[in-house]
Structures are given as C-alpha cells and as structure tokens.
C-alpha cells in the first residue's frame, strides 16, 4: 500500500448526528415496519439478527430490499431536491461486492461498474432514477469513493491570466487529475476522467468511453444562429460525492442519476458568471444592448438560453422537465406527505428555481431544512479547501 502526502487517505467524516450503529439499524427496521414493509414479528427478528451480527463482526450486511426501501426514504428526507415526487420510483443496483475479489482493492472493477451505471441510467434517453450502492465503510476499512462531484463533468483549465477554459466549477478536480498524470485536450467541453480512490491508496483515474457520455447540443427553436454558439451539456446528472447514510452504515460511493430541470443548465451551469458565463454571447446574438444593466439583457438572454435547453433536450429525445412542472410536482409531493402524516424537509433556496421563482407555487411557501436519517451527506473535498466544502 502506498501513501504520499499528496494522496493522504481521505477521512470519512462522521456526522454530528451519529448514533451507535445498532440504534440506527434498529430505527431503520422500525421505520420500514411503520411504513408497512414488514410485520412486527419480522421486524423483531430482523433487529435481533442485526444485533447479533453487529456484536460478532462490528458491522452488518443489509438486505437488497433494505437498501432499496432505505435509499428511497433517504431521498425523501433530503432537503435539497425538488424531484422527490418520484421517490418511490428510485431503483437501486447492488454493487457492494464489486472489486471485492483479490486483495479487495480493484479500482478498474469499480470503474467498469460506474460506466455500466451510466449506460443503465441513460436508457436511450428515457433517463432512469438510479442509485448504485458500492461497499459501505467497515470499522477496519473505509469504503471507496470517487473524487468527482458528478460522474460526468467537464474539465476547467485555469489559464495564466486567471481565466478558465471549460467549467470553472471543476478547476480543482481538473488540476488534481492532471497531477495524477491525466492530460485533457484543452477544449471547453472535455469530459473529466473518473478519479477513484480506496482510502489509504493512491487514487487512479480512468477516461469514460464516449458512448457512456451522452450529450445534447443546444439550439434554439426560433434563432438559427444559436447553434453556432457551440453550447452543449451532458444529458443527465449523476451526483457522486454524497455518502448514503443508511441504518448506521455509510455507503461512501453511491452515485445517483436523475433527469435534469432545464433551469439547472440554462439558468446556472451555462450562465452563472462563475461557471460558463454565456449570457453575454447569447445577448450579442440576440442583438441586445449590453452596455447597461437596465436594458435587462441578462434576463432576456437567460430566458432564451433556458428555452433553448428545453427545446434541445426535447428534440434529442432526452428526459428533462421545466421548472413549472417540477415545482407543481413538488407541491403535490408535499401534500401527499402531509396526508401520510409526514413533514417534507426542504431548503427553500434549493427548491425555488433559479429563474422565474415568483411564478412558481413554491415561492409563497415556507420550508424547514430538517435533517432526518436515512439521508445523503456530502463528502469532504479530497483536496484541502479553505471552507472544507465540496466541489461541484
């Protein structure tokens, strides 16, 4: 096993909510029973079984059904996601034994399984809600992770003058990959390699095969010149820097795919000034007066860029929702949860869309960011950061 200061084992952070594993394991079983997934008898038996396994081995193995049902509740408990209406539609893939052969450190096997995840989630454009669950941390051995905030992301190359070619949101990851020996082509949309690490080992990087990285070129329904801007985005997001905290276990690699809401791309990724910052180009194409804020050129450009994203994904046959639909579904979800006697943890600033917020039904509502288990928790960034935050 090799360690160098650059690649010090990344600690798996323990959360302040941490309770003894046995307590959380029991809570999970009780919750599944309370939600009608198993009888009181079976729950009792399962709790005893877990306690015995924990006493003997210091950990326990969850059943596939516990992982499936528990992951759905983790999603439902997450305060950041507007798409929770579909929480019962989440599918899980059991990858816990991937890479477990040999010495138990097989980065290539993890990589193959992650590629397979992308192919399954893509599903020919009808994007699936898919979570792949890899080996959890054990007392003697923290689980593997990837350094990428998402499985598919574009590189950001810092230039000598401080500007960035590509996505400024991934400069640190790009530089980390370069330190490992990765070389990108230097274009605006180079797909980053996956950086895979077992704690205590040097990370390894792997380039994704092109067929696992579907993308959409952005054109506009009314402006033929729009296509010449050369904008594009990957077809769907796959969050890969969250730990699934389930029944006292921590799954450190649990990539989650879903479809996009158009505002995430049009009103954030391609338009934020600290991301692709494309509004000035769009505005110029539209012939807007960009000399003064008061012409509202940014607002007009933002709207057309978002419309172009929606149009392009539709035309390419790739699942995407608009923010009006997404917020209406969210409110339906809240109401359904209320009927089931549950509250709906939500972070207003994450639920209100990045544009036209006041035209959506969530604007007038108030939310609480309560944190319940099971849940997803962000990994610490694998490189030192002033705030200790995560990339992405």
261 binds ligand ARG (CB under 6 A): yes
- Cβ(145)–Cβ(160) under 8 Å? no
Helices of type H across 142-271: 171-179, 262-264
| Sign of torsion over alpha carbons 378, 253, 342, 79 | positive
3-state secondary structure of 166: strand
Q: Binding residues for ligand ARG, how many (CB under 6 A)?
A: 10
CA distance 44 to 38: 10
**Stretch binding ligand ARG (CB under 6 A), from 46-54, 218-226, 261-269, 342-350:** 261-269
3-state secondary structure of 207: coil
271 binds ligand ARG (CB under 6 A): no
87 binds ligand ARG (CB under 6 A): no
The site string for ligand ARG over 231-260 (x = CB under 6 A, - otherwise) reads: ------x-x------------------x-x
Nearer to ligand ARG, 121 or 288 (CB): 121
Least distance from ligand ARG to the Cβ atom of residue 129, Å: 9
Structure tokens belonging to residue 189: 């949309």
Least distance from ligand ARG to the Cβ atom of residue 257, Å: 8
Give the residues across from 178 on adjacent strands.
none
* DSSP state, residue 386: S
269 binds ligand ARG (CB under 6 A): yes
Nearer to ligand ARG, 27 or 215 (CB): 215
- Cβ(197)–Cβ(249) under 8 Å? no
Q: How far from 291 is each of 8, 287, 298, 305, 347, CA to CA, in Å?
A: 49, 12, 11, 20, 36
Planar angle of CA 336, 340, 341, nearest 5 degrees:
120
Least distance from ligand ARG to the Cβ atom of residue 237, Å: 4
122 binds ligand ARG (CB under 6 A): no
Nearer to ligand ARG, 252 or 261 (CB): 261
The site string for ligand ARG over 144-163 (x = CB under 6 A, - otherwise) reads: ------x-------------
* DSSP state, residue 342: -
Least distance from ligand ARG to the Cβ atom of residue 69, Å: 20
Least distance from ligand ARG to the Cβ atom of residue 43, Å: 32
Interface residue with ligand ARG, options 26, 167, 241, 264 (CB under 6 A): 264
Nearer to ligand ARG, 59 or 269 (CB): 269
- Cβ(302)–Cβ(290) under 8 Å? no
The site string for ligand ARG over 175-214 (x = CB under 6 A, - otherwise) reads: ----------------------------------------
Q: How far from 37 is each of 34, 52, 135, 241, 327, CA to CA, in Å?
A: 7, 22, 24, 29, 29
Query: Which residues of this protein are in contact with ligand ARG, per CB under 6 A?
Result: 83, 150, 237, 239, 258, 260-261, 264, 268-269
């Amino acid at each position: 096993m090799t360690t160098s200061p650059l690649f010090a084992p990344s600690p798996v952070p323990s959360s302040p909510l941490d309770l003894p594993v046995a307590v959380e394991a029991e809570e999970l079983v009780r919750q599944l029973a309370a939600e009608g997934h198993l009888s009181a008898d079976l729950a009792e038996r399962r709790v005893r079984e877990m306690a015995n396994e924990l006493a003997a081995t210091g950990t326990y193995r969850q059943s596939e059904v516990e992982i499936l049902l528990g992951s759905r509740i983790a999603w439902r408990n997450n305060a950041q996601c507007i798409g929770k209406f579909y929480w019962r539609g989440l599918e899980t893939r059991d990858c816990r034994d991937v890479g477990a052969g040999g010495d138990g450190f097989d980065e290539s096997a993890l990589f193959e399984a992650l590629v397979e995840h992308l192919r399954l989630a893509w599903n020919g454009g009808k994007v699936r809600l898919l979570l792949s669950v890899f080996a959890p941390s054990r007392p003697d051995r923290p689980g593997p992770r990837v350094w990428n905030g998402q499985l598919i992301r574009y590189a950001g190359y810092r230039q000598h003058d401080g500007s960035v070619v590509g996505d400024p949101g991934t400069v640190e990851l790009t530089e980390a990959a370069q330190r490992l020996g990765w070389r990108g082509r230097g274009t605006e949309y180079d797909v980053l390699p996956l950086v895979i690490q077992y704690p205590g080992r040097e990370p390894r990087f792997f380039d994704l095969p092109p067929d696992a990285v579907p993308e959409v070129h952005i054109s506009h329904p009314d402006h033929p010149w729009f296509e010449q801007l050369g904008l594009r985005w990957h077809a769907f997001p796959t969050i890969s820097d969250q730990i699934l905290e389930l029944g006292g276990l921590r799954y450190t690699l649990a990539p989650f795919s879903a479809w996009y809401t158009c505002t995430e791309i049009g009103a954030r990724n391609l338009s934020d000034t600290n991301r692709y910052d494309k509004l000035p180009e769009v505005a110029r194409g539209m012939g807007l007066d960009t000399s003064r804020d008061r012409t509202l050129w940014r607002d007009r450009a933002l709207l057309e860029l978002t419309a172009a994203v929606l149009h392009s994904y539709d035309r390419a046959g790739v699942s995407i929702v608009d923010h009006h639909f997404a917020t209406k579904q969210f409110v339906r979800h809240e109401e359904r949860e209320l009927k089931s006697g549950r509250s709906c943890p939500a972070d207003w600033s994450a639920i209100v869309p990045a544009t036209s917020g006041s035209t959506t039904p969530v604007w007038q509502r108030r939310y609480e960011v309560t944190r319940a288990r099971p849940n997803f928790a962000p990994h610490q960034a694998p490189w030192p950061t002033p705030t200790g935050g995560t990339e992405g």
